[in-house]
Every structure is written in C-alpha cells, then in structure tokens.
Amino acid sequence: MKLKDCYDVVVIGSGAGGGTAAEIFSRYVEKGLSVLVLEGGPFWKKENFNQKERDMSRIYFNRGAIFSKRLNIAVAAGRVVGGSTAVYTGVSFRPPEEVWQKWKKDYGLDFFNADFVQDTLDEIEEMIHVAEPPPSWDNDNNRLFREGCEKLDIPVKRLRLNLKGCQQQGLCNLGCTSGGKQGTLEVQIPLALSRGIELVHNAWVDHITPEEVVFSVKPAWPFTEANVLPEGNYKVKAKNIVLAAGSLHTPPLLLRSQKYLRTSPKNIGRYLTLHPAFNVNAIYPQVIKNDRGFPKTYYSDAFSDSEGYYLETSFYFPGVTAKNIPHMGKSHEEMMKKYRQMMSILLLSHDPARFYNRVKIDRRGNTVLDYRVDEEVQNSLIQGLRRAAAVFLAAGCEEMVFPACQKEKITPADAKNLDKLISKRYLNLIKTPLSSAHPQGGARMGADPKKSVVSPEGKLHNHDNIFIADASLFPTSVKVNPYETVMLLSHYVAKQVVKRAWGG
Amino acid sequence: MKSEKQKIALLSLAEVIIPSLQTRPMVKEKLWENFCYFLGDMDTNSQKKIQLLLFALKILSVLRYGRSYPKMNFSQRERFFLWLLHFPIALIVAGATGLKSLIYVSYYSLDESWENIDYQGPLVQRELQKELQRETK
Ligand SMILES: Cc1cc2nc3c(=O)[nH]c(=O)nc-3n(C[C@H](O)[C@H](O)[C@H](O)COP(=O)(O)OP(=O)(O)OC[C@H]3O[C@@H](n4cnc5c(N)ncnc54)[C@H](O)[C@@H]3O)c2cc1C
C-alpha cells in the first residue's frame, strides 16, 4: 500500500465509533472522498480466532485488564480492528429517553430528538441485525435468572442482540469464530473496505496536529493479517481528523497532542464513567452447562431508578470466572470444580460523571486511569449484590461466594440475613476489584466550551477540522450498555464531517 | 520474568493459591510458561508491579519468618500470603490480589486444568493453537 500525500478524512480507531464513521464516509468514496482508517491493533480475522483464553485475551489492551491507579477497577477494551465490538456480547440498547433529554437540556445537544434517535438507530440496527433472540437460545443460566426473578416478583425483560447466524458457542468475549456477532469487524469495516476506504492496522497514533496525524506501524502478530505498510514511523496529512480511539485512548491522544492544539486541557479526560460491575457466581445442585449457549438473554432494570443498577445474565470462561471468585486455596478449587453447576449474574452500577474521575497520561504519554468509586456507587453495589444473592437463592442455588460478604460462603440458610451478611463494611475494592467494559466520557460533548471538550457538532473546541466520534463524547453515563449510543453519536458526527468535507 | 528464583517463588505461591498443584509438577511448569506469556504482553507498569510484589514476597518473608518464601512449609506459605492480603499498605494488598488473579487466569486457561472442572474447551480446533504454543516456547 502507498499512502496518499493527503486524505480528506483520517479516522483513528475502528471500533463502534470509528467503524461506524468509516462506513458513512465510504458512501462518498466513489464521489472522490479519500478516507484512511488507522487502527492501533492487529487485523485479526475470525478464521484465526481459536477461542482460547490464553491466546485470545491478546485481543484486549493489557490482556483484558487496564487497571486504575488505585487498583480498584480493571477495564476491558478491545485492541484490534473492530475495537471492543470484536469482543462485545452484542447486547443492544437504545439510549434511554430520560438520558438523551438530559444531554439536550443540560449540555446543549440540540440535535437529539425522538425522530433523530429512532431514524438513525432504525438504520443502524437494520445494518447490524439487532433483534430479540428466540426462546430456544436460552441456556440454563438465563432460565434460572428468569425463574429466580419471577419468584421474587422482580420484572425481567428480554435483551436485544445484534447477531446473524449465531451458533451460540458461548464464547463471544473471546471473539466470534462464526462471524455471527455483527460488530464493526464483521459489518461496517468490510463494507467500507469494499467501497474503497484504506485501512492500516497495527498503526498506533502517537499524536495529531491540526494538519497531520503522526503514527507508527508495529509488528504484526502471528495469525493476524500481514502489515500493509513496513514497520516504522509515519506522518500523513489530513483535511479532517476523526478521533475514535475510545474513552480510554482518545483523551490521552489529545493530551499527547496538546502543544499543537488550541483546546483547553482542563476538561480533557474528565467526567469519565465506567459502569462499574461485579460478576457474581453461585453453585447449583445440578449440572447446568452454562458455558455453552448464548450467555445473555435477560436483564432487569427494575432497580435502575431506585437503587442505581441493572442486573444482566452473563457467563465467562474458566480463567475470568476463577479470577472473579473471591478467596483462594482449597475452597476456591472446590468451587471451580463445580464450574458446570455455576450460574452468573452481572451487576452493572450507574456511576455519576465526576470531574475527579479521569484518564490522563504519564511522562511517557501512556494512559493512566484515575477513578474513585464514590459512596453513592458503593451503596448501589451493595444493594445490587444483595438482590443478586436473593435471585440466586430463589432459583435454587446451593452456595455462593460473594464480594463484600461477612461469610466465605452464603447458603440457603442465610436467606433471611442477606442484608447483614452483605454490607459496605465488608466491601474492599482492593481485594475484590470491580470490572468494567463500558468506559464512557473523557471528551465531553457540550455547548459550553468551559465545561466540555467537543462542540455539539462533534468538533474539538477551537478547531474546525478535528472531530471526535466515540464513547468519550458522552456527557454522562448512558446507564445502559453503550455501543448503540456510540454508533448513534458517531453516525451524527460523521455526517457533520461529510458536510464540512463537501463544503457544507 | 526469566529468572529461576522468580519462577520458584511464583510456583511456591501458586501451590498455595491452587493446592492441587502440589502433586502436579508438569502442570506447574506449564503454568509458569503461561504466566510469562500473559505477563510478557502486559504494559511495563503492570509488569513492574508484579515483579515488585515477588520481590516483596521475598523480603517480607525473610523479615517475618527468617527464611525465603519457597523454603517455608505449605501452611506457613499460606498464612504468610493471607497476611499479605490483609497488609496495612494498600499497594501490597492490591499487588497480592493482582498476582493471585494472574495465577488463576494462567492456570485455568491451561488445557490441563479443564479436566478437573469438566470444561470442554474451545469448539474450534485449529492448527493455530499448536503453532501459537510453539511460538511461546
Ligand atoms: C468484553 C466486552 C463486552 C462488551 N459488551 C457490550 C454489549 O454487549 N453491549 C454494549 O452495548 N456494549 C458492550 N461493550 C462496550 C462496547 O463495545 C463499547 O462501548 C464500544 O465498542 C465503544 O466504542 P468506541 O469506538 O468508543 O471504542 P472501541 O470500540 O473500543 O474502539 C477503539 C479503537 O481504537 C483503537 N485505538 C486506541 N488508541 C489508538 C491509537 N492511539 N491509535 C490507533 N488506534 C487506537 C483501539 O485499538 C480500538 O480498536 C463491551 C465491551 C467489552 C470490552
């Protein structure tokens, strides 16, 4: 491949945001728009996924755990063509109306209205095949979750998923070998490539200036696509630059570029939210084979407003499961022996956007995550843990091991004491860290440049040709699983870029 | 992480975290390989923290028990690691927790561990797997 001297648009990142934007731009390639996508990760195609935790966790930054400075939370994010959509589960939520109304009212995002949300997401959902899964896909994990909730009169809802030809292998988060999961690796990027955009993978962007993107091409890993450019350092001119490196990497990229930019650094990286989560496990007397079948088909938002969390079904492969079970030694090994009798629940807590929660950079320009779990979130986590324990017990579990719990094991005999046993007093996030797969914010979109980083047109404040199109735009947590909202915003920003590239 | 001393320290800790390893020397070898494979791909900051913790394991065990960690018997090693997990310095606790997690991930992502937990492993069998293993060595 030979790079052009100058591109109309250079997109950085190929995940939910970058992939969606690239697809929009590709519609104009035939009319002469030149588009380059730079992706820092490898081009790892489904034919070469091997479903082994050992090998496939390389598809994530830092093997799936970017730790906060305080070591209270570990964040997972994809480092590959397709970004986090190559490893996500495909749970598809539209942004709740109360959230986008707030974004409109409090942050001046006037483009939000019911028609915009519906029309754009209808288009996106059709392209990536969002639908409710048939009941035949429910494995025991999902059935037991529903049963437990129903016994407690907790309303459950069916999740929507973006899948086509899913084989229900149950290993979504290690990359889908069938391509059933319709992320940008399978849908938007191949479509955009077929229309003539250019993609350089293993292309890590160090910094940008208003005219240039500076990157280096890293070695290709075995069993990923060969590099299209020789390893080394590059500069490419761009009339428009679209940053879509995700919440954990777009703000650091801006900070590394700070000396070339006219945007105040004050808010860059700030107001980061993580949707902090606990994944908890319980053992049932019978074999329930949850490692196969679709891991997620039900959720409950019954406590979203009152207690600040969602409960979703989930199930993970052995290494991650073992890591999520507190304690160690013989009792831990005994519990793992019952892996095939295990059921899981994911507790996702809504965290408020705080100025002090942020991504920044160290002296070498690497991402540093500084995140505090405030009281409100801790209370919500405790309430959620109690509720998850009650659901497990109602569904007939034998025992469970929980974070923030006074006892090593909870059994049915403890059913009446859950409030006492699971308490903030026993919550130690250093010993049982939270996890996150939904980082949001860090380059807040808003009308007031004093309180935000990006304008409501998606432009970096004080710049006309630098845009952001990823999860870092979110002014606050969207509360639900975020990828559809990322695609919605990216779709909108990409259209603003096209308007500019085409002279309005 | 290449030194023999680090390997011995790590594996004597792994036995405490996963006691059945005591009678499976071959699996311990594989766990070590896997551990290095995981760690080698992590950022320098994480690598440094893990190495620092292994160092702390050595120093603190000498200070507390007068002998190095691998030389202690099983129950002393167990007690000592639990003590670390309750240490008054948060960074040590976090490091010990991180190390424990990495040992679990390294072990339970080994084919050899799956028989014990009745996990049938990947659904695809690829040449890639064998070659990736060769590459690690
Ligand atoms: C395990 C997992 C499961 C998930 N499940 C769901 C789900 O079921 N439903 C849901 O709604 N959401 C889910 N998510 C979250 C969802 O995938 C993300 O919210 C979404 O992909 C974010 O989009 P993004 O474009 O902001 O970032 P990403 O999709 O993460 O893309 C960012 C891309 O930028 C690249 N990049 C970063 N820095 C640079 C650089 N300097 N130079 C070049 N390239 C760079 C990265 O390699 C990456 O490919 C999940 C995430 C994970 C990790």
In this complex, do A333 and B19 lie within 8 Å of one another by their Cβ atoms?
yes
Length of chain A: 504
Least confident of A326-340, A468-482, B37-51, B106-120: B37-51
What is the pLDDT at residue A295? 87
* Domain ranges within chain B, ordered by starting residue: 4-136
In terms of pLDDT, which residue wins out, A390 or B120? A390
Six-digit token string for A41? 């990760």
In this complex, do A340 and B128 lie within 8 Å of one another by their Cβ atoms?
no
What is the pLDDT at residue B135? 55
In this complex, do B34 and A54 lie within 8 Å of one another by their Cβ atoms?
yes
According to DSSP H, which parts of A222-262 are helical?
A: 250-256
Using only C-alpha atoms, chain A has a radius of gyration, in whole angstroms, of 22
Compute the C-alpha angle A51/A342/B100, nearest 5°: 70
- The whole-angstrom distance between B129's CA and the closest CA on chain A is 7
Q: Which of B41, B100, B118 sits opposite A340 (nearest CB)?
A: B118
Using a CB-CB cut-off of 8 Å, the residues of chain B touching A329 are: 16-17, 19, 78
Please write down the HEC assignment for all residues of chain B: CCCHHHHHHHHHHHHHHCHHHHHCHHHHHHHHHHHHHHHHCCCHHHHHHHHHHHHHHHHHHHHHHCCCHHHCCHHHHHHHHHHHHCCCCHHHHHHHHHHHHHHHHHHHCCHHHHHHHCCCCCCCCCHHHHHHHHHHC
Low-confidence ranges of chain B (pLDDT < 70): 1-2, 125-137
Mean pLDDT of A137-157: 96
Mean pLDDT of A317-345: 95
Q: What is the pLDDT of residues A228-271, one digit of tens each?
A: 999 999 999 999 999 999 999 999 999 999 999 999 999 999 99
Six-digit token string for A411? 């059994």
Q: What is the pLDDT of residues A58-77, one digit of tens each?
A: 999 999 999 999 899 999 99
Six-digit token string for A502? 């085409």
In this complex, do B118 and A171 lie within 8 Å of one another by their Cβ atoms?
no
Name the average pLDDT for chain A. 96
DSSP-based three-state secondary structure for A281: strand
Q: Is the dihedral of CA B34, B36, B40, B43 positive or negative?
A: positive
Six-digit token string for A345? 């629940």
Six-digit token string for B101? 């997690």
CA distances from A88 to A164, A297, B120 (A): 15, 14, 22
- The whole-angstrom distance between A99's CA and the closest CA on chain B is 35
Supply the ipTM of this predicted assembly. Answer: 0.93
CA distances from A74 to A68, A205, A289, A355, B37 (A): 6, 24, 27, 20, 20
pLDDT of A426 above 60: yes
| C-alpha of residue A243 to centroid of ligand 1, in Å | 13
The verdict on A366 touching B (C-beta cutoff 8 Å) is yes
What is the pLDDT at residue B126? 55
Portion of chain A with pLDDT greater than 70, in percent: 100
A210: which strand partners?
none
Q: What's the N-to-C CA distance of chain B in angstroms? A: 14
Using a CB-CB cut-off of 8 Å, the residues of chain A touching B34 are: 54
Residue A426 phi, psi (nearest 5) = -100, 5
In eight-state DSSP terms, residue A160 is P
- Nearest CA owner, ligand 1 atom 24: A246
- Nearest CA owner, ligand 1 atom 1: A88
In eight-state DSSP terms, residue A48 is G
The confidence band for A464, taking pLDDT boundaries of 50, 70 and 90, is very high
Q: Where are the beta strands (DSSP E) in A259-410?
A: 277-283, 298-300, 309-314, 342-349, 358-361, 367-370, 399-401
Q: Where are the beta strands (DSSP E) in A21-117?
A: 35-38, 66-67, 73-75
What is the pLDDT at residue A501? 87
Least Cα distance to A144 among A283, A330, A318, A352 occurs for A283
- List, chain by chain if needed, residues with CB within 6 Å of any ligand 1 atom: A 12-18, 38-41, 76-80, 83-85, 87-91, 173, 204-205, 244-247, 249, 253, 437-438, 470-471, 481-483, 486
| C-alpha of residue A460 to centroid of ligand 1, in Å | 21
Instruction: Report the amino acid identity of residue A209.
Output: T
What is the pLDDT at residue A378? 98
The verdict on A178 touching B (C-beta cutoff 8 Å) is no
Mean pLDDT of A336-360: 97
Using a CB-CB cut-off of 8 Å, the residues of chain B touching A58 are: 41
- Taking a C-beta distance cutoff of 8 angstroms, is the pair B13, B83 a contact? no
Global model pTM greater than 0.90: yes
- Taking a C-beta distance cutoff of 8 angstroms, is the pair B93, B84 a contact? yes
Candidates A49, A430, A434, A435, partner chain B, best to mutate (most B CBs within 10 A): A430
